[in-house]
Amino acid sequence: MAVPPLSPDPAKFALRAELHARRAAHVAALGPERTRAAAHAAAEQMLAHIPAGASVSLYLAMRDEIDPEPLAAALHARGHQLALPALIDRTTMCFLAWQPGDALDEGPMDLRQPPLSAPECAPDLIVTPLTGFDRMGGRIGYGAGHYDRAFQQYPGAHRIGLAWAIQEVAEVPHDPWDVRLHAIATEREFIRI
């Protein structure tokens, strides 16, 4: 099932804008110290649900996304193979091997990513950033469809969203190409779908 190009779905567009503003205001109100503490709390929520030996794709936080760095550090210490998403072009994303401290390149769309020469990794678990989520596994991202295509490319990978609790909505508009999450971790709880 192909993901169509970015569409001007008015419901998703309005919800995305509202959630970006909500997230930015929340992080600004928290301040740096409480933001870091929340990132550690989210990592703790997720760690118990990651099987030993699983290869895990994470992301590097952009703007006011909840930061998975504490999770990456804990998984690295436990010996997990880690990967980061990398954009080959504006539409094609893959996962490349990475560990904390490795060099990063500037990719398309301001994505910090491993050099394209890094080995490709087929993750057992994909941790994805979210703009919003619901308790049915619905997610809304930035609108380019990168993660939906990646989820289709790796159908056996367990999909976990990482978000601030305030990013939860009653229902995310769902298109036929949207791939639902298996779980969501926030600084407050782990939500199994």
Work out the average pLDDT over 178-190. 95
**pLDDT at residue 3 greater than cutoff 70:** no
- Give the model's pLDDT for residue 7: 54
pLDDT digits (tens, 9 = 90+) for 119-153: 999 999 999 999 999 999 999 988 777 888 889 89
0.85 surpassed by pTM: yes
SS (H, E, C) the chain: CCCCCCCCCHHHHHHHHHHHHHHHHHHHHHHHHHHHHHHHHHHHHHHCCCCCCCCEECCCCCCCCCCCHHHHHHHHHCCCCEEEEEECCCCCEEEEECCCCCCCEECHHHCEECCCCCCECCCCEEEEECCEECCCCCEECCCCCHHHHHHHHCCCCEEEEECCHHHECCCCCCCCCCCCCCEEECCCCEEEC
